[in-house]
Chains A and B, each alone.
Chain A
């Protein structure tokens, strides 16, 4: 990507949960980024990323080939990929990285892709939206602060980073640049503060949401137990909302609260928002535009506090 261009253009890889469960993430990402000088254009014909836990646990060849196909679509557009989900990041970024550096793997994948007249060339990069927002090279905290019209003043917001974006540490590269710390990062808190809200630290911030790695699909009670522990830790410090950068984490915290109510009989009523939705709110988008009414847990108490 040329830095001299006024606007950066990225192919937006949507994934599955964002468009199906939280369409607000999609609209917020596109509209919010526009105001920050980033054009997100659709990556047409994209398939499942594929889900790292589900596919990666069963057949790595299918995993590589499917992710490579999505990458080739962007290569054909000559555009880097931006995505909004940690799971997609794990699949698409990591496969891109591995195929670029491992010739044997690349040749194997290209043999499969040949059947659909495609070839992985390794010409594009993959970015997470949060990474684009934080990195001065693309947007940066101060530009975000400048774009805020409705500061989320007074809201106490905790951050859930999710796992796949920062770990495994040795297989990730972006944090070598700006986001050095993977055990106790604070860059998302900086983004939250840029929106005018108060970021809140809580115990075991870096713990998994409980959904990933196929746990949710395999053993829902165990999965919810982990989520419940995080919610207890959040309740301990008292927050108005939790923000995430991964629709799967969001699903687990949002829908999960209903399931936790059913299984454990506990209620938290903690609004859970993707950071893109939070950004949209602060930039003046209406809750309806952001589809906040589609969340399982009502965002009303939070909205009343900030709007």
Chain B
């Protein structure tokens, strides 16, 4: 075993020597000023393990760690590990006194590296790096041993085992710490513009905030109008504000803002670059109608669409209006509701027969319509991006037992919103789709497809269905005297400000609450009435209730094209498919890709107040790099050892961040790393057949030393 270790060290040194010869990688980015005499990029081979002096600091974390293992035993053992020059322990290593212990020890014992055995790097790596830096060492000379989350917490009842495991963890960390090198973060300049993808209430709020902060913002919306789901709603809970009334001022502000460049009927096509320097290609879908600005650019003075609707009146093609969920017709040239922003008509080219009647109706002055319009691609440079892409409604017909799309009088809550809305297809009169009659008994099925572990629906809570169903109950008792809402629920989740009070109010207004999931719904073929079968779990009896209308509070799910969005922006998603935040509690707006932020339901179900709050948070987060002017990057990127690189290009395709490319250098093809894009994931380094990729801070010799330290066990 000892033999083996020697070989490894030798190999390591060979590699280091080779690496030294390597020409410095292309400097695309500005290096932070390095202390005199030190290289800007820490070249491999800055330290050898031989002269390493490591300090080990063991944290009790109160009783979190100390309660489950023998700290003195770990301490005694640590003293025997090679390179360890100092060992100490403290109740809370992250506290100021704890950090002072580290700083003092570094200075007094002339340490070259610091190992803290405590919680997780995710939590306290920045803390201890700062402490290491304050002690006068390069902050990257710090290594953490996780003896809490991965040890004392999971082996709470195995004191002996967890003590042994902690010894292993410390030994492994020391092995790496002995080989750590000085690294220097770099800075890149930030393009002072931002992009918001999705112009629902979240995207609009984010764009307005960014604009208010003086940042030029591109707002990209795939639909013809901004406003999103909120513009389809009639009222909002619990204040019962008219949704459109509170939304349209914001929509108008977005349309008017000089700092916001609104791009509706547009989609993100391609994304290149990295934080501070994204290059986004936007596809402006052929709209068939020119804005006044576009017309002016084509030399048509005073032309372009003014939203008069003359074209709509003559268009012979009739299609279902998606905004009204197909309950109202529209033409092939259309706006889908009267309050669209921008007020520009759009041609549905999949339906248009190109008869040209609209062109004639538009007239020779405006000349707004171009039936031959093609998609356009626009390249935009932005510093940061906020994704506010929203959600889809779960196709509730998949829950066959409730008969949506099979029974006419089973509708979804969004259809209910349109039917109860004064600007909706029925002018605000709630009617049964089968016969146009006013329903007097309406059943609301909550958790329709949410909190569903059958494998058909979604396991999560969609978070706003309870509240909007309460609102719906209020709306029918208000609009239809004598109409009784029956709410079938599992739990009423009225957790927000004034929400519980709203729940009591609806109870007092006469809504009937039945605690029990609806087993199935059957239609009476003659009357088209519906029989709702459920189990009343409070009275412990089965129910067969005949109602006139059933409203399914359908679950929500991630957008159909979420995977495309994820790939474009390099964002992960959680198990349930929603886009993944950087940290669920402490960084809910950030993502794992620097410079890309999240707002609204695309990150997970939330209601309007939460969406707006997150949008403001995302806007603030996205504005920070722009206001700072430059961002610091973790120096974990891969480096190509060009002497060894055969230019095979296998790594280029493997890189999930598109950070690698092949270039010609001195007559040879070699790989080149765009450092700002590299996340240091190590995919390329692990794969490279020639060992030509050096992963900074996770270099092969460092990892091999860790593996050796583990396998050698007590033999050291």
Contact = CB atoms under 8 A, between A and B. Distances in A.
Nearest to B402: A183
A169 B399 CA distance: 12
B39 interface: no
A50 B406 CA distance: 38
Given A169-B454, A170-B454, A170-B455, A183 B400 contact: yes
Contacts of B523: 203
A184 interface: yes
A183 B522 CA distance: 12
A203 B520 CA distance: 12
A203 B454 CA distance: 24
A232 B400 CA distance: 23
Nearest to B524: A203
Contacts of A169: 454-455
Interface residues of B, number: 12
Interface in B393-414: 399-401, 403, 406
Interface string A203-220: 110100000000000000
A203 B522 contact: yes
A247 B553 CA distance: 40
A237 interface: yes
A204 B520 CA distance: 9
Interface in B518-547: 520, 522-525
A181 interface: yes
Nearest to A183: B400
Contact of A237 (B400, B401, B454, B525): B525
Interface string A193-205: 0000000000110
Interface string B586-612: 000000000000000000000000000
Contacts of A170: 454-455
A183 B525 contact: no
B400 A181 contact: yes
Contact of B400 (A184, A203, A204, A236): A184
A204 B522 contact: yes
Contacts of A181: 400
Task: Give the residue among A181, A183, A203, A237 with the most B Cβ atoms within 10 A.
Answer: A183
B520 A183 contact: yes
Nearest to A233: B522
A178 B400 CA distance: 16
Interface in A156-183: 169-170, 181-183
B527 to A, nearest CB: 12
Contact of A203 (B401, B455, B525): B525
Contacts of B403: 184
Contacts of B400: 181-184
Contacts of A206: 520
Interface string B375-419: 000000000000000000000000111010010000000000000
A61 to B, nearest CB: 29
A184 B454 contact: no
A161 to B, nearest CB: 13
B124 to A, nearest CB: 43
B240 to A, nearest CB: 36
A237 B524 CA distance: 11
A170 B403 CA distance: 20
Nearest to B523: A203
Contacts of B525: 203, 236-237
A184 B406 contact: yes
Nearest to A185: B400
A206 B401 CA distance: 10
Interface in B534-584: none
Interface in A41-66: none
Nearest to B526: A236
Contacts of B522: 203-204
Nearest to B533: A204
A218 B520 CA distance: 26
Contacts of A203: 522-525
Contacts of B455: 169-170
Contacts of A236: 525
A204 B524 CA distance: 10
A155 B362 CA distance: 60
A236 to B, nearest CB: 8
B528 to A, nearest CB: 12
Interface in B446-492: 454-455
Interface in B491-526: 520, 522-525
Task: Give the residue among B399, B400, B455, B524 with the most A Cβ atoms within 10 A.
Answer: B400
A206 to B, nearest CB: 8
A203 B399 CA distance: 18
A244 B285 CA distance: 54
Contacts of A182: 400
Interface string A221-236: 0000000000000001
Contacts of A237: 525
A204 B521 CA distance: 9
Contacts of B520: 183, 206
Nearest to A201: B525
B586 to A, nearest CB: 37
A182 B401 CA distance: 9
B401 A183 contact: yes
A182 B454 CA distance: 12
Nearest to B403: A184
A237 to B, nearest CB: 7
A13 to B, nearest CB: 29
Contacts of A184: 400-401, 403, 406
B291 to A, nearest CB: 47
A257 B619 CA distance: 71
A237 B525 CA distance: 9
A237 B523 CA distance: 13
A183 B533 CA distance: 14
B553 to A, nearest CB: 19
Contacts of A183: 399-401, 520
A170 B455 CA distance: 8
B639 to A, nearest CB: 49
B455 to A, nearest CB: 6
A203 B531 CA distance: 10
Nearest to A237: B525
Nearest to A236: B525
A8 B525 CA distance: 43
B9 to A, nearest CB: 47
Interface string A137-154: 000000000000000000
Contacts of B454: 169-170
Nearest to B520: A183
A2 to B, nearest CB: 32
B458 to A, nearest CB: 16
Interface in A76-107: none
Nearest to B399: A183
Contacts of B524: 203
Task: Give the residue among B403, B455, B523, B525 with the most A Cβ atoms within 10 A.
Answer: B525
A144 B406 CA distance: 29
B359 to A, nearest CB: 47
A64 to B, nearest CB: 25
A170 B453 CA distance: 10
A204 B403 CA distance: 12
A226 B290 CA distance: 66
B356 to A, nearest CB: 45
A202 to B, nearest CB: 9
22 contacts: A169-B454, A169-B455, A170-B454, A170-B455, A181-B400, A182-B400, A183-B399, A183-B400, A183-B401, A183-B520, A184-B400, A184-B401, A184-B403, A184-B406, A203-B522, A203-B523, A203-B524, A203-B525, A204-B522, A206-B520, A236-B525, A237-B525
Given A169-B454, A181-B400, A204-B522, 6 more contacts: A170-B454, A182-B400, A203-B522, A203-B525, A206-B520, A236-B525
Report, nearest first, the 10 A-B pairs whose CB atoms are least far apart: A183-B400, A183-B401, A184-B400, A204-B522, A203-B522, A181-B400, A170-B455, A184-B406, A203-B525, A170-B454
Interface of A: 169-170, 181-184, 203-204, 206, 236-237
